[in-house]
């Protein structure tokens, strides 16, 4: 028998499914490059409902919604960059959600959410350095040195900016949707 802390109700499952669907739908909002030198790295609007889900449902559910929504987007052809984009997006948002969630769960407050998101931005940026050095050369057929040359002027700053945009948007939107997500009337 599951404890009240870990049990999931039909209503909660339905709200998580809605957030997954919103994340998939948001993946079809035209993305945009933030820094031209790395125009292949684009802002993904689908990160917003994923991060909101993290705070509403917890780290495992936030990670699950991230993986499912990104995979569905890939299956239906929404990922412009194919398997490469799917893998990179899962790594980036996975690191963000995991770091932010681990901090937030210890003290569910506005302050810990902000700190968690900032640590999430750093975690995402940090994981994307080796990910780009290993995965980008394989998929884009470029030498590792070419990717190394893009770290400081592009890859690191674009991941910091993407993460901060998502943090600010989450901070603005979360309170407005939290009643629905927590089933408050």
pLDDT in tens, 64-116: 999 999 999 999 987 677 899 999 999 999 999 999 999 999 899 999 999 99
Rounded Cα distance between 59 and 92, Å, is: 15
Using CA atoms in the order 153, 158, 159, 165, what is the torsion angle rounded to 10 degrees? 150
- Residue-level pLDDT at 178: 85
How many other C-beta atoms are found inside a 10 Å radius of the C-beta of residue 130? 10
Rounded to two decimals, what is the model's pTM? Answer: 0.91
pLDDT in tens, 32-66: 889 999 988 889 999 999 999 999 999 999 999 99
Residue percentage of the chain with pLDDT more than 70: 94
Closest CA to 51 of 43, 69, 63, 67: 63
Using CA atoms in the order 146, 84, 117, 97, what is the torsion angle rounded to 10 degrees? -140
| Domains along the chain with CATH numbers | 11-24+44-120+167-181 (1.10.1760.20)
Asked if residue 184 has pLDDT above 70, the reply is: no
Closest CA to 84 of 124, 23, 145, 131: 131
Contact yes or no for 41/33 (Cβ under 8 A): yes
- Residue-level pLDDT at 7: 66
Phi first, then psi: what are they for 78, rounded to 5°?
Answer: -80, -20
CA 18 and chain centroid, separation = 16
- Residue-level pLDDT at 181: 84
Backbone dihedral region of 108: left (phi > 0), alpha (psi from -120 to 50 degrees) or beta?
beta
**Least confident piece of the model among 2-6, 37-41, 121-125:** 2-6
Rounded Cα distance between 176 and 134, Å, is: 40
């Amino acid at each position: 028998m599951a404890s009240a802390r870990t049990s999931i109700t039909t209503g909660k499952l339905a709200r998580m499914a809605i957030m997954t669907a919103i994340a998939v739908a948001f993946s079809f909002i035209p993305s945009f490059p933030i820094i031209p030198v790395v125009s292949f790295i684009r802002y993904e609007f689908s990160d917003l409902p994923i991060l909101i889900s993290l705070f509403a449902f917890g780290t495992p559910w936030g990670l699950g919604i991230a993986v499912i929504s990104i995979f569905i987007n890939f299956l239906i052809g929404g990922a412009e960059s194919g398997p490469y984009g799917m893998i990179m997006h899962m790594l980036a948002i996975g690191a963000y959600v995991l770091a932010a969630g681990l901090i937030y769960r210890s003290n569910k407050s506005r302050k810990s959410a902000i700190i968690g998101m900032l640590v999430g931005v750093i975690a995402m940026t940090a994981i994307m350095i080796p990910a780009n050095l290993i995965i980008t050369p394989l998929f884009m057929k470029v030498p590792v040195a070419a990717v190394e040359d893009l770290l400081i002027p592009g890859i690191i700053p674009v991941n910091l900016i993407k993460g901060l945009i998502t943090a600010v948007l989450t901070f603005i939107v979360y309170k407005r949707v939290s009643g629905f997500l927590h089933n408050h009337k």
